[in-house]
Structure 1
Amino acid sequence: MELEVRHLRVVCAIADAGSVHKAARVLGMAQPSLTAQLRRIERALGGQLFIRQSDGCRPTAFGHQLLTRARPLLAEMKGLTAEMRAAAARAAQAPQLRIGSTPSRTLPGWARRLRSRYPESVPALQTDVSSNALLRMVAAGQLDVAFVHEMEGTRLRFPPGLRQRVLLEREPGFLAVAEHHPAAGRQVIRLEDLADERWMMDRTADGEWESLYRAFLAVGLTPRLLHGDYSATALLVATGEAVTVCQATSTGWDGVVPRRLEGDPIGWRWLLAARTEAELEAVYDDLAAAYREAVEQVPAYRAMALPTVRPGPPAAPPVPDSSPHSA
């Protein structure tokens, strides 16, 4: 038998009460059960802890040795329990900022700024590749705000009542390609030169594969598409088995580099959605600053003529889209 905290409590209770009978009442146990448990503890430790007498019991030298170690441990456990209960109560009372976002390099800088601005809050972040799924969560009250993107040529399905503020009207889509790929040697790549490549796309990311398909059709080509999640995409692109579209703020990942597509044929709009203007106002400035910070880390994107990202007046409420092809 391994000695546990509850066994230490039994030994200390008997020592404090002066008898097994009194300790049993304090612990809410039957005396025979407590006596049997004490015997099991003594057998496990290999020595007698108490001398039984007609008027009670007193610790042996071996028992005193255990009590000397046990009492501080129990006091520390009691303090730890009280401390954690107090922390849990504070967390339950603290306001929680619930943020949703599609994957973006803006997130680390945004989260850092929000923690600094609202140190009393407990931010919670949920990411999803589907902008529409995040918008539904905001409308249902499961999220306070959602930072999402809308692919060019598609429309997001805004639930009624949501407010939005546009962060950037158009961010160009870049190419993500293995660093050993022949195209990686050029800073700007023509879409036509990638006609024979296999393009990896996530079908659950609203509008992304449709946007790529339209871009290829515009130059008279049909892309070879593979479908998989972001993890599979990262692996296949790094090994040169596929290429994909990435955000202009991407710095690449292990074995993968971002490159600009000539003419910027693919793009998307970034926006923030919430149920109220106050919720938008509370986080928008920090989001805009975080996006500018992300741009600064990518020389190829920073060098482009970009519209200024700054706080502005709220956009008009979006018109709900009921089109079945608007995903």
Structure 2
Amino acid sequence: MELELRHLRTVRAIAEAGSLTKAAVALSLAQPALSTQLKRIERLLGGALFERGRDGVRPTPLGELVLNRARVLLPAAQLLQEEAVRFANAPVGRPRFRLGATHGPLLGALVDRLVQEHPGAAVTTSNSWSTREIIGQVAGGRLDFALVGVCGESLPDGAEQLAWRVVGTDPVFVMLAADHPLAGAKELVLDELAGEQWTVAPGEGCFADCFSAACSRAGFTPLSMYETDTASCVHLVQVGRAVGLCRATFPPTAGLVTVPLTGTPLTWRHLLGWHPAATSADTAAEVTRYARTAHTEAADRSPSYAGWLAAR
């Protein structure tokens, strides 16, 4: 048997877990199977890698040596795999734009602009509520660009893997049914909605915490939140079951209105990301320009946002 990367991953998992039991759970193995595997690795490397005690396991000097090498080799192997995928998927003969996006109004407009400016280009899209998933696909060479949103000044998980540009920053508005008693307001103070049910599209990051903190500052604790897809959020608002939180660029929709919140307690940034070593980096400035144009046009299409901007 020769040493393989999977052996190093096993050793690393045991060291990180601190016990064979926890490592077996993390690796989806039965503990006896993991113990047998560890013994084979130890025979291959010439000695014990871990000392076992009542509090779990800790690396021996030989184990520390192996772990130090694993911390270099495993990331390097991962990087090689990602570079190979990017190289193998590099466009040949015509432009290609593989876009990944979270929920938001900008993706469709960006696709339209890219197809308009590059009639022969291959433009594909992938959608997920998970920014972590999209960023991982861009970092791994399976997508060219990530178009995602984040709360306030935060960054998404895994942001360090990509280069980023800000497309635009929006206030967060409230969605109300068109016949809601407060639907005609030019602005709403958050505590005016203290007795409402809420709905919002799912996502990662700090938005839920920031919303709860804003409600706390306004003197109330929000009632239960329906976290569901955008279409279901819209339906719940239209039938009066909840009020919603949305970016100010949310497009006009029959049966509901969007209203600014006084003092802008919540904001949302749209970001465009790409891997600096990928071929797509050559078109990043152009795609950023198109995304910013799409953001401006989305703001212009929203009467409530256009009015909010004009007042400032």
TM-score range, shorter chain: 0.5 to 0.7
On the 8 A contact 1:202/1:229 being kept in 2, the answer is: yes
Q: Secondary structure at the match of 2:129?
A: coil
Cα offset, 1:113, TM superposition: 1.0
Structure number, greater radius of gyration: 1
Residue segments in structure 1 that go unaligned for 5+ positions in a row: 1-90, 307-327
Distance 1:256 1:111, change over 3 A: same
Matches of 1:94 and 1:295, distance apart in 2: 32
| TM-score, with length taken from structure 2 | 0.63
Query: Structure 1 residues 226, 304: CA separation in 2 closer, same or farther (over 3 Å shift)?
Result: closer
**Matched AA of 1:175:** V
Contact 1:163 1:273 in 2 (8 A): yes
Question: Partner of 1:281 in structure 2?
Answer: 285
Q: Is the Cα–Cα contact under 8 Å of residues 198 and 226 in structure 1 kept in the other structure?
A: yes
**Aligned in 2, Cα 1:133/1:211: closer, same or farther, shift over 3 Å?**
farther
What SS does the corresponding residue of 2:265 show, helix, strand or coil? coil
Q: Shift in Å at residue 94 of structure 1? A: 4.9
C-alpha contact (below 8 Å) 2:200/2:246 kept by paired residues? no
CA distance in 2, matches of 1:195, 1:153: 26
**Cα pair distance change 1:215/1:153, threshold 3 Å:** farther
1:112-145 deviations in Å (ceiling 9; x for gaps): 1100221121100112222222112211112100
Aligned pairs for 1:1-327 (under 5 A) are 94-152=94-152, 154-168=154-168, 170-230=169-229, 231-276=231-276, 277-305=281-309
Q: Using the TM superposition, give the Cα deviation of residue 305 of structure 1 relative to its aligned residue in structure 2, in angstroms.
A: 4.4
The whole-number CA distance in structure 1 between the counterparts of 2:211 and 2:288 is: 29
Change in 2 beyond 3 A, CA 1:289/1:159: closer
Distance 1:275 1:269, change over 3 A: same
Cα distance in 1 between the residues matched to 2:112 and 2:305: 23
What SS class does the counterpart of residue 109 from structure 2 fall into? helix
Given the superposition, is the C-alpha separation of residues 161 and 226 from structure 1 closer, same or farther in structure 2, using an over 3 Å criterion? Answer: closer
In the alignment, is the contact (CA less than 8 A) between 1:200 and 1:233 conserved in 2?
Answer: yes
For the residues of structure 1 that align with 2:227 and 2:105, how far apart are their CA atoms?
21
Tell me the TM-score normalised to structure 1 length: 0.61
Could you list the runs of 4 or more consecutive aligned residues of structure 1 that deviate by over 6 angstroms after TM superposition?
none
Q: Is the 8 A contact 1:202 1:209 kept in 2?
A: no
**CA distance, structure 1, for counterparts of residue 106 and residue 161 of structure 2:** 26
Q: List gaps (5 residues or longer) in structure 2.
A: 1-90
1:209-261 Cα shifts (integer Å, max 9, x gaps): 22211211122211112233123322211110101111111134231111111
The CA deviation at 1:300 is 2.6
**Partner Cα distance (2:154, 2:300) in 1:** 28
Deviation of the 1:95 alpha carbon: 4.5
Q: Which amino acid aligns with 1:294?
A: A
- Cα distance 1:239–1:205, how it changes in 2: closer, same or farther (>3 A)? farther
Report SS of the residue matched to 2:111. helix
The total of aligned residue pairs comes to: 215
Q: Quote the RMSD (CA, aligned, Å).
A: 2.2
Cα distance change on mapping 1:195 and 1:155 into 2, 3 Å:
same
Partner residue in 1 for 2:26: none
Secondary structure of 2:105 counterpart: coil
Q: 1:198 to 1:301 in 2, by over 3 A?
A: same
Tell me which amino acid in the other structure corresponds to 1:280: A
Q: C-alpha displacement at 1:205, in angstroms?
A: 4.6
**Contact 1:201 1:208 survives alignment (8 Å):** no
Q: Percent identity?
A: 27
**Secondary structure at the residue paired with 1:175?**
strand
